Amino acid sequence: MTHLLIIGGSDAGISAALRVRELDARATVTVVVMDAFPNFSICGLPFLLSGEVTDGRSLAHRSVAEIEARGIGLLLEHRAESIDPRSRIVRVVSAGGRPREMAYDRLLIATGAESARPPIGGLDLPGVLFLRTMTDGLAIKSHLDREKPRRALIIGGGYIGLEMADALTHRGMDVTLTEFAPEVLASLDPDLGSLVRTELGSRGVRVVTGVAVSGIERVDGGLLVRAAAAVDIPADLVLVATGARPSVALARSAGVALGTAGAIRVDRTMATGTPDILAAGDCAETWHRLLGRADYLPLGTTAHKQGRIAGENLLGGAREYPGSLGTQVVKVFDLVAARTGLRDKEARAAGFDPLTAALTAWDHKAYYPGAREMHIRITGDRGSGRLLGAQIVGHRYSEIAKRVDIIAAALFHGMRVEELCDLDLTYTPPLSTPWDPVQTAALEWCARISSR
């Protein structure tokens, strides 16, 4: 009988365990979970904290009972401390400090990522919080309910920072957001990021960009965040949202090689190079389908898919991960920003000769009530015409995610920009236009190429 051990009970780990169980009813599979929350939607935490989601239990994709009913063993509130790949033993420690050794035939490391801690003082002060895990989220909720802070300062203008600016404003707090870069949401072109900044400002969020936080101090009545250029911002709560880094201490203990961005190096079968040890999810590299090389894209969608591949290969399979494109979307109040593939500067750095066409289009026929403008940017390679990426910003009801998903599907299949115009997409005046906005952008790109 094959003994499979999975370290980590979030998206990749549980996806792998479920795939094992689908394929082999005889294999024993055990998942070691650091906390008491296996298979929870971490992405839903900002909406729990805003109050829009009222029950944290609803964030569970599956309950413990449902997982165990599939024949999957769960070892909750146990931390894996070390791996000995020679003896194939993992040493784990319970929350109460009791050690235990667990043998395996094959092992999956799915330890995820952890909050990046910027090099500033005061990160351990009461009221300075991070958001990465269910435990983090519940601690923040408890702090909000107990202390009832009025002023929040968020360090970091990425996806989590923006969603939490929305969430805390929704709770009635005064929110300030600081970002080191010149504009929020650095994964978009700056002028598109400025649209997000305008939306934040219209909802009362104070946005301070181009400044580095130098420290956090405890003062009478709360916290004081010190930044460059003599910027001092008082707050009752500080949320540090400066990104994530792969959690690889366990892998390092086994001598597993690290690669891009310090993540675990894997091939497309999710194998690490250390015999019978695989890795998947936010702790591991991913194959970038456009770049044709390893990259680090810590996304829930990627983790689910990698976990499924890893689960199959834990049983001796050799299925390869087809690759990611960095497809992402975020809602900030009534604005949605999404992207997939490569931006112009990213494409140029990768050796392409990119051309980017930008336009503003109606999300549906302008004569039908409620039409709203979408800001679309589409990038392709000048020589080959190959589609390389897109960015779209618009209203939350403008089907932004649907439009970017069209581009993502086209990218996945290596289509040229011109071929977007051939797609048979839906049309009715309340929902779209005869040439969908995605196709209008493609037509604009083709016109610019033809006029060269």
Tell me the catalytic residues: 43
DSSP state of 54: -
Task: Give yes or no for a contact between 270 and 277, defined as CB atoms under 8 angstroms apart.
Answer: no
Question: What burial class does residue 398 get, using C-beta atoms within 10 Å of its C-beta: 0-12 exposed, 13-18 middle, 19+ buried?
Answer: buried
Residue type, 427: Y
DSSP state of 7: E
Question: What burial class does residue 62 get, using C-beta atoms within 10 Å of its C-beta: 0-12 exposed, 13-18 middle, 19+ buried?
Answer: middle
Task: Give yes or no for a contact between 10 and 42, defined as CB atoms under 8 angstroms apart.
Answer: yes
β-strands 373-381, 354-362 pairing: antiparallel
> Which residue reads 């729990």 in tokens?
48
Q: What is the DSSP string of 97-144?
A: S-EEEEE-SEEEE---EEE---S-BTTTSTTEEE-SSHHHHHHHHHHH
Residue type, 9: G
What count of Cα atoms within 13 Å lies in the side-chain half-sphere of residue 150? 3
* Tally of helices (H runs) and strands (E runs) in the chain: 11, 25
- Report residue 401 as tokens: 């995610």
Residue type, 142: S
How far apart CA 18 and CA 71 sit, in angstroms, is 9
Q: Strands across the sheet with 213-219, in order?
A: 213-219, 222-227, 231-235
What count of Cα atoms within 13 Å lies in the side-chain half-sphere of residue 327? 21
How far apart CA 437 and CA 185 sit, in angstroms, is 23
How far apart CA 65 and CA 268 sit, in angstroms, is 32
